[in-house]
Protein backbone atom coordinates (compact mmCIF):
# COMPACT_ATOMS: atom_id res chain seq x y z
CA UNK A 1 0.00 0.00 0.00
CA UNK A 2 1.34 3.42 -0.98
CA UNK A 3 1.81 5.96 1.84
CA UNK A 4 -0.47 9.00 1.94
CA UNK A 5 0.85 12.52 1.31
CA UNK A 6 -1.60 15.28 2.26
CA UNK A 7 -1.38 18.52 0.24
CA UNK A 8 -3.03 21.55 1.88
CA UNK A 9 -3.32 24.66 -0.30
CA UNK A 10 -5.30 27.63 0.99
CA UNK A 11 -3.76 30.11 -1.48
CA UNK A 12 -2.45 29.68 -5.02
CA UNK A 13 -2.28 26.61 -7.26
CA UNK A 14 1.24 25.26 -6.74
CA UNK A 15 0.25 22.05 -4.95
CA UNK A 16 -2.85 21.54 -7.08
CA UNK A 17 -0.52 20.44 -9.87
CA UNK A 18 0.69 17.63 -7.58
CA UNK A 19 -2.82 16.42 -6.74
CA UNK A 20 -4.14 12.87 -7.15
CA UNK A 21 -4.70 13.12 -10.90
CA UNK A 22 -1.08 14.14 -11.54
CA UNK A 23 0.80 11.72 -9.27
CA UNK A 24 -0.59 8.31 -10.19
CA UNK A 25 2.86 7.03 -11.17
CA UNK A 26 4.58 8.13 -7.95
CA UNK A 27 5.28 5.80 -4.99
CA UNK A 28 2.78 7.66 -2.79
CA UNK A 29 -0.90 8.58 -2.92
CA UNK A 30 -1.72 12.30 -2.87
CA UNK A 31 -4.71 13.84 -1.10
CA UNK A 32 -5.50 17.49 -1.87
CA UNK A 33 -7.61 19.87 0.26
CA UNK A 34 -8.05 23.64 0.32
CA UNK A 35 -8.81 24.41 3.98
CA UNK A 36 -7.30 23.45 7.31
CA UNK A 37 -10.43 21.86 8.79
CA UNK A 38 -10.62 19.43 5.88
CA UNK A 39 -6.93 18.64 6.40
CA UNK A 40 -7.48 17.76 10.07
CA UNK A 41 -10.47 15.59 9.15
CA UNK A 42 -8.35 13.60 6.68
CA UNK A 43 -5.73 13.01 9.36
CA UNK A 44 -8.42 11.36 11.47
CA UNK A 45 -9.44 9.11 8.57
CA UNK A 46 -6.09 8.22 6.92
CA UNK A 47 -2.61 7.26 8.14
CA UNK A 48 -0.80 10.20 6.55
CA UNK A 49 3.02 10.13 6.37
CA UNK A 50 3.76 13.64 5.04
CA UNK A 51 1.84 16.93 5.00
CA UNK A 52 2.79 19.73 2.59
CA UNK A 53 1.18 23.14 3.21
CA UNK A 54 0.96 26.24 1.02
CA UNK A 55 -0.75 29.14 2.79
CA UNK A 56 0.84 31.81 0.62
CA UNK A 57 1.99 34.71 2.77
CA UNK A 58 -0.22 33.62 5.70
CA UNK A 59 2.57 32.12 7.80
CA UNK A 60 0.57 32.16 11.10
CA UNK A 61 -2.07 29.87 9.56
CA UNK A 62 0.64 27.45 8.44
CA UNK A 63 2.20 27.45 11.90
CA UNK A 64 -1.16 26.88 13.60
CA UNK A 65 -1.98 23.94 11.33
CA UNK A 66 1.44 22.34 11.78
CA UNK A 67 1.18 22.72 15.57
CA UNK A 68 -2.11 20.82 15.49
CA UNK A 69 -0.62 18.14 13.24
CA UNK A 70 2.39 17.75 15.53
CA UNK A 71 0.10 17.31 18.53
CA UNK A 72 -1.98 14.76 16.61
CA UNK A 73 0.91 12.55 15.40
CA UNK A 74 4.57 13.42 15.98
CA UNK A 75 5.81 11.06 13.24
CA UNK A 76 4.03 12.95 10.42
CA UNK A 77 6.64 14.96 8.50
CA UNK A 78 5.66 18.61 8.01
CA UNK A 79 6.79 20.54 4.91
CA UNK A 80 5.82 24.12 4.07
CA UNK A 81 6.08 26.46 1.08
CA UNK A 82 7.19 30.06 1.68
CA UNK A 83 5.87 32.82 -0.59
CA UNK A 84 8.55 35.33 0.43
CA UNK A 85 12.29 34.97 0.96
CA UNK A 86 12.00 36.40 4.49
CA UNK A 87 9.79 33.44 5.44
CA UNK A 88 12.67 31.09 4.62
CA UNK A 89 14.60 32.77 7.44
CA UNK A 90 11.69 33.02 9.91
CA UNK A 91 10.73 29.36 9.87
CA UNK A 92 8.13 28.42 12.53
CA UNK A 93 9.36 25.78 14.97
CA UNK A 94 6.47 23.49 13.99
CA UNK A 95 7.76 23.28 10.38
CA UNK A 96 10.39 20.62 9.71
CA UNK A 97 11.33 21.77 6.23
CA UNK A 98 10.41 24.84 4.21
CA UNK A 99 10.84 25.47 0.50
CA UNK A 100 10.50 28.57 -1.63
CA UNK A 101 7.08 28.62 -3.29
CA UNK A 102 8.78 29.54 -6.58
CA UNK A 103 10.94 26.39 -6.55
CA UNK A 104 10.61 23.80 -9.28
CA UNK A 105 8.05 21.00 -9.17
CA UNK A 106 10.98 18.55 -9.10
CA UNK A 107 12.25 20.17 -5.89
CA UNK A 108 8.91 19.66 -4.15
CA UNK A 109 8.70 16.05 -5.32
CA UNK A 110 12.27 15.45 -4.12
CA UNK A 111 11.46 16.96 -0.72
CA UNK A 112 8.39 14.71 -0.41
CA UNK A 113 10.44 11.64 -1.30
CA UNK A 114 13.06 12.55 1.32
CA UNK A 115 10.34 13.22 3.90
CA UNK A 116 8.91 9.74 3.28
CA UNK A 117 12.36 8.26 3.94
CA UNK A 118 12.52 10.12 7.27
CA UNK A 119 9.00 8.99 8.17
CA UNK A 120 10.03 5.39 7.56
CA UNK A 121 13.11 5.82 9.80
CA UNK A 122 11.02 7.34 12.59
CA UNK A 123 8.46 4.55 12.37
CA UNK A 124 11.28 2.02 12.77
CA UNK A 125 12.95 3.90 15.66
CA UNK A 126 10.43 5.13 18.26
CA UNK A 127 13.19 6.61 20.46
CA UNK A 128 14.44 8.75 17.59
CA UNK A 129 10.87 9.73 16.67
CA UNK A 130 10.15 10.78 20.25
CA UNK A 131 13.32 12.85 20.49
CA UNK A 132 12.85 14.58 17.11
CA UNK A 133 9.29 15.51 18.09
CA UNK A 134 10.56 17.30 21.21
CA UNK A 135 13.02 19.56 19.40
CA UNK A 136 11.87 23.17 19.44
CA UNK A 137 14.35 24.13 16.73
CA UNK A 138 14.99 21.85 13.76
CA UNK A 139 17.20 23.78 11.31
CA UNK A 140 16.30 24.44 7.70
CA UNK A 141 18.74 25.55 4.97
CA UNK A 142 19.24 29.34 4.71
CA UNK A 143 17.79 31.36 1.82
CA UNK A 144 21.35 31.89 0.52
CA UNK A 145 21.72 28.14 -0.03
CA UNK A 146 18.72 28.09 -2.39
CA UNK A 147 19.95 31.21 -4.20
CA UNK A 148 23.33 29.57 -4.79
CA UNK A 149 21.68 26.43 -6.13
CA UNK A 150 19.58 28.54 -8.49
CA UNK A 151 22.72 30.31 -9.73
CA UNK A 152 24.46 26.96 -10.26
CA UNK A 153 21.55 25.58 -12.26
CA UNK A 154 21.14 28.75 -14.34
CA UNK A 155 22.45 28.60 -17.94
CA UNK A 156 24.22 31.88 -17.20
CA UNK A 157 25.56 30.82 -13.81
CA UNK A 158 29.19 31.70 -13.06
CA UNK A 159 31.77 31.82 -10.29
CA UNK A 160 31.42 35.61 -10.21
CA UNK A 161 27.65 35.27 -9.84
CA UNK A 162 28.15 32.88 -6.93
CA UNK A 163 30.75 35.22 -5.40
CA UNK A 164 28.32 38.16 -5.69
CA UNK A 165 25.70 36.22 -3.73
CA UNK A 166 28.21 35.18 -1.07
CA UNK A 167 29.53 38.75 -0.76
CA UNK A 168 26.21 39.83 0.80
CA UNK A 169 27.32 38.00 3.96
CA UNK A 170 30.55 39.57 5.20
CA UNK A 171 31.18 36.99 7.94
CA UNK A 172 30.77 34.14 5.46
CA UNK A 173 33.01 35.91 2.93
CA UNK A 174 35.74 36.26 5.56
CA UNK A 175 35.49 32.58 6.48
CA UNK A 176 35.73 31.39 2.86
CA UNK A 177 38.77 33.60 2.21
CA UNK A 178 40.34 32.37 5.43
CA UNK A 179 39.87 28.74 4.37
CA UNK A 180 41.25 29.42 0.88
CA UNK A 181 44.40 30.90 2.43
CA UNK A 182 44.82 28.13 5.01
CA UNK A 183 47.57 25.52 5.09
CA UNK A 184 45.40 23.10 3.11
CA UNK A 185 45.96 25.04 -0.10
CA UNK A 186 49.62 25.67 -0.92
CA UNK A 187 49.39 28.92 -2.92
CA UNK A 188 52.29 31.12 -4.05
CA UNK A 189 50.26 34.26 -3.26
CA UNK A 190 47.46 35.30 -0.96
CA UNK A 191 43.93 35.05 -2.40
CA UNK A 192 41.89 38.21 -1.87
CA UNK A 193 39.15 37.83 -4.50
CA UNK A 194 36.09 35.86 -3.44
CA UNK A 195 35.50 34.29 -6.87
CA UNK A 196 39.08 32.95 -6.84
CA UNK A 197 38.52 31.46 -3.40
CA UNK A 198 35.31 29.77 -4.57
CA UNK A 199 37.12 28.35 -7.60
CA UNK A 200 39.91 26.99 -5.39
CA UNK A 201 37.73 25.47 -2.67
CA UNK A 202 35.07 24.12 -5.02
CA UNK A 203 31.38 24.92 -5.09
CA UNK A 204 30.35 21.68 -3.35
CA UNK A 205 32.42 22.54 -0.30
CA UNK A 206 31.25 26.17 -0.45
CA UNK A 207 27.63 24.97 -0.28
CA UNK A 208 28.57 22.89 2.74
CA UNK A 209 30.23 25.89 4.37
CA UNK A 210 27.05 27.94 3.81
CA UNK A 211 24.95 25.24 5.51
CA UNK A 212 27.40 24.81 8.39
CA UNK A 213 27.79 28.56 8.94
CA UNK A 214 24.00 28.92 9.16
CA UNK A 215 24.02 26.46 12.06
CA UNK A 216 27.13 27.78 13.80
CA UNK A 217 25.77 31.32 13.78
CA UNK A 218 22.80 30.14 15.86
CA UNK A 219 25.01 28.86 18.67
CA UNK A 220 26.14 31.83 20.78
CA UNK A 221 26.70 29.51 23.75
CA UNK A 222 29.10 30.71 26.49
CA UNK A 223 32.18 28.54 26.81
CA UNK A 224 31.74 26.94 23.38
CA UNK A 225 34.72 27.46 21.06
CA UNK A 226 33.16 27.69 17.60
CA UNK A 227 36.56 28.11 15.93
CA UNK A 228 37.62 24.70 17.25
CA UNK A 229 34.37 23.17 15.98
CA UNK A 230 34.91 24.74 12.54
CA UNK A 231 38.50 23.54 12.46
CA UNK A 232 37.50 19.97 13.39
CA UNK A 233 34.70 19.73 10.82
CA UNK A 234 36.76 21.24 8.01
CA UNK A 235 39.67 18.90 8.82
CA UNK A 236 37.36 15.87 8.65
CA UNK A 237 36.02 17.12 5.30
CA UNK A 238 39.50 17.45 3.78
CA UNK A 239 40.80 14.14 5.17
CA UNK A 240 37.64 12.30 4.04
CA UNK A 241 38.03 13.75 0.55
CA UNK A 242 41.71 12.75 0.47
CA UNK A 243 40.96 9.18 1.59
CA UNK A 244 38.12 8.80 -0.91
CA UNK A 245 40.28 10.16 -3.74
CA UNK A 246 43.25 7.95 -2.79
CA UNK A 247 40.93 4.93 -2.83
CA UNK A 248 39.96 5.78 -6.44
CA UNK A 249 36.39 6.45 -5.39
CA UNK A 250 34.06 7.38 -8.25
CA UNK A 251 34.72 11.10 -8.94
CA UNK A 252 31.00 11.82 -8.66
CA UNK A 253 31.17 10.77 -4.99
CA UNK A 254 34.17 12.87 -3.99
CA UNK A 255 32.03 15.96 -3.35
CA UNK A 256 29.81 13.78 -1.12
CA UNK A 257 32.85 12.91 1.02
CA UNK A 258 33.66 16.63 1.32
CA UNK A 259 30.09 17.54 2.27
CA UNK A 260 29.53 14.64 4.67
CA UNK A 261 32.83 15.39 6.40
CA UNK A 262 31.95 19.04 6.86
CA UNK A 263 28.45 18.28 8.18
CA UNK A 264 29.20 15.07 10.11
CA UNK A 265 28.58 16.74 13.49
CA UNK A 266 25.37 18.47 12.39
CA UNK A 267 23.42 16.44 14.94
CA UNK A 268 25.63 17.75 17.75
CA UNK A 269 24.84 21.32 16.66
CA UNK A 270 21.12 20.50 16.71
CA UNK A 271 21.51 19.18 20.26
CA UNK A 272 23.48 22.26 21.36
CA UNK A 273 20.75 24.50 19.94
CA UNK A 274 17.92 22.59 21.65
CA UNK A 275 19.30 21.28 24.95
CA UNK A 276 22.49 23.33 25.47
CA UNK A 277 22.89 22.85 29.22
CA UNK A 278 22.22 19.11 29.20
CA UNK A 279 24.35 18.50 26.12
CA UNK A 280 27.33 20.47 27.40
CA UNK A 281 27.11 18.39 30.57
CA UNK A 282 27.30 15.22 28.45
CA UNK A 283 30.31 16.63 26.59
CA UNK A 284 32.11 17.31 29.86
CA UNK A 285 31.37 13.83 31.16
CA UNK A 286 32.64 12.24 27.93
CA UNK A 287 35.97 14.11 28.37
CA UNK A 288 36.66 14.26 24.64
CA UNK A 289 35.88 10.58 24.02
CA UNK A 290 33.51 10.63 21.03
CA UNK A 291 32.33 7.04 21.49
CA UNK A 292 31.48 7.72 25.13
CA UNK A 293 29.61 10.87 24.08
CA UNK A 294 27.45 8.99 21.55
CA UNK A 295 26.70 6.32 24.16
CA UNK A 296 25.65 8.98 26.69
CA UNK A 297 23.47 10.70 24.06
CA UNK A 298 21.62 7.48 23.30
CA UNK A 299 21.22 6.52 26.95
CA UNK A 300 20.02 9.90 28.24
CA UNK A 301 18.43 11.57 25.21
CA UNK A 302 17.17 8.52 23.31
CA UNK A 303 19.14 9.34 20.15
CA UNK A 304 22.74 10.06 19.18
CA UNK A 305 24.02 12.98 17.15
CA UNK A 306 24.88 10.75 14.12
CA UNK A 307 21.28 9.62 13.53
CA UNK A 308 19.88 13.08 14.33
CA UNK A 309 22.21 14.62 11.75
CA UNK A 310 21.21 12.00 9.18
CA UNK A 311 17.51 12.81 9.69
CA UNK A 312 18.08 16.54 9.21
CA UNK A 313 20.17 16.03 6.06
CA UNK A 314 17.51 13.73 4.61
CA UNK A 315 14.86 16.37 5.32
CA UNK A 316 17.10 18.87 3.52
CA UNK A 317 16.97 16.56 0.49
CA UNK A 318 20.75 16.18 0.37
CA UNK A 319 22.08 13.03 -1.36
CA UNK A 320 21.30 9.82 0.52
CA UNK A 321 24.97 8.82 0.50
CA UNK A 322 25.80 11.98 2.50
CA UNK A 323 23.13 11.20 5.12
CA UNK A 324 24.34 7.59 5.35
CA UNK A 325 27.93 8.71 5.97
CA UNK A 326 26.85 11.18 8.66
CA UNK A 327 24.61 8.57 10.30
CA UNK A 328 27.40 5.99 10.56
CA UNK A 329 30.47 8.12 11.30
CA UNK A 330 30.86 6.60 14.80
CA UNK A 331 29.26 3.21 14.25
CA UNK A 332 31.38 1.22 11.79
CA UNK A 333 33.43 -1.71 13.08
CA UNK A 334 35.53 -4.59 11.73
CA UNK A 335 32.39 -6.37 10.52
CA UNK A 336 30.44 -3.43 9.05
CA UNK A 337 33.30 -1.34 7.64
CA UNK A 338 33.97 -3.56 4.57
CA UNK A 339 30.26 -3.47 3.61
CA UNK A 340 29.92 0.31 3.98
CA UNK A 341 29.91 2.60 0.94
CA UNK A 342 33.22 4.40 0.17
CA UNK A 343 31.95 7.78 1.42
CA UNK A 344 30.92 6.32 4.78
CA UNK A 345 34.28 4.57 5.06
CA UNK A 346 36.18 7.78 4.29
CA UNK A 347 34.23 9.92 6.78
CA UNK A 348 34.49 7.27 9.52
CA UNK A 349 38.27 7.03 9.11
CA UNK A 350 38.71 10.80 8.79
CA UNK A 351 36.72 11.55 11.95
CA UNK A 352 38.69 8.98 13.92
CA UNK A 353 42.07 10.22 12.65
CA UNK A 354 41.31 13.91 13.22
CA UNK A 355 40.01 13.30 16.75
CA UNK A 356 42.98 11.13 17.74
CA UNK A 357 45.52 13.53 16.19
CA UNK A 358 44.00 16.45 18.10
CA UNK A 359 44.02 14.48 21.37
CA UNK A 360 47.66 13.47 20.95
CA UNK A 361 48.64 17.03 20.05
CA UNK A 362 47.19 18.19 23.37
CA UNK A 363 48.54 15.20 25.32
CA UNK A 364 51.30 13.06 23.74
CA UNK A 365 50.60 10.34 26.32
CA UNK A 366 47.10 9.75 24.91
CA UNK A 367 46.52 6.08 24.06
CA UNK A 368 44.76 5.38 20.76
CA UNK A 369 43.05 2.20 19.62
CA UNK A 370 44.98 1.28 16.51
CA UNK A 371 44.30 -0.95 13.52
CA UNK A 372 46.52 -1.62 10.49
CA UNK A 373 44.08 0.38 8.32
CA UNK A 374 44.11 3.42 10.61
CA UNK A 375 47.88 3.22 10.98
CA UNK A 376 48.28 3.25 7.20
CA UNK A 377 46.08 6.32 6.77
CA UNK A 378 47.55 8.09 9.79
CA UNK A 379 51.00 7.99 8.21
CA UNK A 380 49.70 9.16 4.82
CA UNK A 381 47.46 11.91 6.23
CA UNK A 382 49.82 13.26 8.89
CA UNK A 383 50.90 16.35 6.87
CA UNK A 384 47.25 17.19 6.13
CA UNK A 385 46.28 16.64 9.76
CA UNK A 386 49.07 18.91 10.96
CA UNK A 387 48.02 21.64 8.51
CA UNK A 388 44.38 21.33 9.52
CA UNK A 389 44.81 21.48 13.26
CA UNK A 390 47.75 23.84 13.76
Q: What is the pLDDT of residues 286-302, one digit of tens each?
A: 988 888 999 999 999 98
Determine, yes or no, domain membership for 77.
yes
Determine, yes or no, domain membership for 137.
no
The values of phi and psi at residue 57, to 5°, are -90, 0
Q: Above 70 in pLDDT, residue 129?
A: yes
Q: Which residues contact 21 (CB under 8 A, 6 or more apart)?
A: none
Residue 195: domain span: 143-389
State pLDDT tens for residues 2-59. 899 999 999 888 888 887 776 678 889 999 999 999 999 999 999 999 999 998 877 7
Determine, yes or no, domain membership for 31.
yes
Torsional class of 40: left (φ above 0), alpha (ψ -120 to 50), beta (otherwise) = alpha
pLDDT band, very low/low/confident/very high, at 205 (cuts 50, 70, 90): confident
Measured CA to CA, the distance from residue 3 to residue 30 in angstroms comes to 9
- The CATH number linked to 10 is 3.40.50.2300
Q: Which residues contact 122 (CB under 8 A, 6 or more apart)?
A: 75, 128, 129, 132, 311
Say if residue 191 is in the same domain as residue 323.
yes
pLDDT band, very low/low/confident/very high, at 218 (cuts 50, 70, 90): low
State pLDDT tens for residues 374-385. 778 888 888 888
pLDDT, mean over the chain? 85
Pair 319, 258: CB distance under 8 Å: no
Determine, yes or no, domain membership for 118.
yes
Q: Which residues contact 390 (CB under 8 A, 6 or more apart)?
A: 183
Determine, yes or no, domain membership for 138.
no
Determine, yes or no, domain membership for 132.
no
- Name which of 231, 186, 174, 179 is nearest 201 in CA terms: 179
Say if residue 288 is in the same domain as residue 351.
yes
Determine, yes or no, domain membership for 76.
yes
Give 343 or 277, the one with higher predicted confidence.
343
State pLDDT tens for residues 83-100. 765 555 556 667 888 887
Say if residue 105 is in the same domain as residue 161.
no
State pLDDT tens for residues 150-180. 888 888 888 889 999 999 888 889 888 888 8
Counting residues of the chain whose pLDDT is more than 90, the rounded percentage is 38
Say if residue 119 is in the same domain as residue 147.
no
Say if residue 54 is in the same domain as residue 169.
no
Say if residue 66 is in the same domain as residue 34.
yes
Measured CA to CA, the distance from residue 142 to residue 153 in angstroms comes to 18
Q: What is the pLDDT of residue 362?
A: 62
Q: What is the DSSP string of 41-98?
A: HHHHHS-EEEEEEE-TT-HHHHHHHHHHHHHH-TTSEEEEEESSHHHHHS--TT-SEE
Q: What is the pLDDT of residue 90?
A: 57
Tally of domains in the chain: 2
pLDDT band, very low/low/confident/very high, at 69 (cuts 50, 70, 90): very high
Q: What is the pLDDT of residue 223?
A: 60
Q: Above 80 in pLDDT, residue 363?
A: no
Measured CA to CA, the distance from residue 230 to residue 213 in angstroms comes to 9
- The CATH number linked to 297 is 1.10.3210.10
Say if residue 348 is in the same domain as residue 226.
yes
Amino acid sequence: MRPYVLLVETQGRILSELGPSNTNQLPWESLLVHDTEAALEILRLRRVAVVVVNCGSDLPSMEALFSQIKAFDQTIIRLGLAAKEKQLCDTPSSVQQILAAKCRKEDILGAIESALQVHEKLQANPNLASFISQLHHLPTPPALYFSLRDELESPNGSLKGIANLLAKDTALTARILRIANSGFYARPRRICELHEAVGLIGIDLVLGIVLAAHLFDRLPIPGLNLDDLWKHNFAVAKIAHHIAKSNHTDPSLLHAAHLAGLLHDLGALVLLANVPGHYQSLMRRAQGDEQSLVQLEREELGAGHPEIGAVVLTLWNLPEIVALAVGSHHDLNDQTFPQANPVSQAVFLAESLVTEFAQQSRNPQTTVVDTPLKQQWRIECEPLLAAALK
